[in-house]
Amino acid sequence: MKFNGRLIGCLLLLFSFNSVAAKPVTLRLGILAFGTVAWEIEALKQQKLLDSAAFDLEIHPVANPEAGKIALQSGAVDIIVSDWIWVSKLRASGEDFTFYPYSNTSGALVVPENSPIRSLKDLPGKRLGLAGGELDKNWLLLQALGQRQSLDLNASVEKVFGAPPILSQQLLRQRLDAVMTYWHFAARLEAQGYRQVLDGRDIVKGLGINEAVPTLGYVFRQSFGEQHRQSINSFLNSTRQVRQTLCQSDSAWQKIIPLTQAEDTVTQNKLRLRYCDGNIDSWGEKERQAAGRIYQLLKNLSDNRLTGAGSALQPGTFWSTD
């Protein structure tokens, strides 16, 4: 039987092309070494879900959220976790970043168990620790809620801005009366007997917004997402599924406990509870419209410093998996 050399060459070339085309896209993910995304990536590995995924993952540890933003903007990574306010601000300046919800867990106002502080009305005259600086979203929205109750929190409390670990220590040493801090630091304080007065979702509800609006999400360039839509959507679906697994399966949770850096069971359980409280149950037009209302509040409260010059939440801010 004779073989046509030219035909064989074409077949080999076609086979080679298909092999290359079938190779999963590598997604470079910038994450905090001990953040909740690291929990989920470890769970993906433990459950061997990456073996058959439509993507490969290349993990790039980042020192802090700002370092992650720099890495994404410079092209050193393809995906980070950040917030949609930042995405909209960049889109208003001509960038094409987009956001897909990851969690609606937010910060919390925490006080000692025996504290007389039970509501915002008890804060005036108190020494309040604030994580994230004067443009932190929770602090701005807390002020908006205060205004609804005829309270000028900015003028009536003694503000102490600082890094969350330092604020936690100051509260433990009774040098602060309360702290408005990030959720995982709040959870650790709760595990030590401290009391949560309200969290970010309570604040938003107090402002008349009943929809659960995500606080954090995966951020990537829209052009990158459109070029690799199948891989991006597969990644997003995988992380959503593994989050559910960590909340429903005790054995899956046990395997990632070392990454929580919590040595006692009480803290581990509290971290899991607050982490699972952040599950995204609904993400549709109502939630997007609610995000637009929150955007306007933050724009006015920060005098454009947080949101940038955009008059409204920018089109394309939210990625659609459809």
Q: pLDDT grade, residue 252 (50/70/90)?
A: very high
What total of structural domains would you count in the chain?
Answer: 2
Q: In the prediction, which pLDDT does 49 show?
A: 81
Task: Based on the fold, state whether residues 240 and 189 are members of the same structural domain.
Answer: no
* Percentage of residues of the chain with pLDDT beyond 90: 86
More confident residue, 175 or 3: 175
Is 14 inside a domain boundary? no
Task: Based on the fold, state whether residues 100 and 113 are members of the same structural domain.
Answer: no
Stretch 177-196: mean pLDDT: 97
Question: What is the model's pTM?
Answer: 0.90
Task: Based on the fold, state whether residues 86 and 164 are members of the same structural domain.
Answer: no
Is 306 inside a domain boundary? no
Q: Which of 152, 176, 206 is the last residue of a domain?
A: 206
- The model's pLDDT over 48-61, given as tens digits with 9 standing for 90+, comes to 888 878 899 999 99
- The model's pLDDT over 83-122, given as tens digits with 9 standing for 90+, comes to 999 999 999 999 999 999 999 998 999 999 999 999 999 9
Report DSSP letters for 191-243, one per residue.
Answer: HTT-EEEEEHHHHHHHTT--S---SEEEEEEHHHHHHTHHHHHHHHHHHHHHH
User: How far is the C-alpha of 42 from the C-alpha of 262, rounded, in Å?
Assistant: 16
Task: Based on the fold, state whether residues 96 and 114 are members of the same structural domain.
Answer: no
CATH of the domain at 239: 3.40.190.10
Is 191 inside a domain boundary? yes
Is 259 inside a domain boundary? yes
Stretch 140-161: mean pLDDT: 97
User: How far is the C-alpha of 26 from the C-alpha of 231, rounded, in Å?
Assistant: 9
Task: Based on the fold, state whether residues 98 and 221 are members of the same structural domain.
Answer: yes
| Residues belonging to the chain | 322
CATH of the domain at 198: 3.40.190.270
- Whether residue 134 has pLDDT greater than 80: yes
Task: Based on the fold, state whether residues 113 and 188 are members of the same structural domain.
Answer: yes
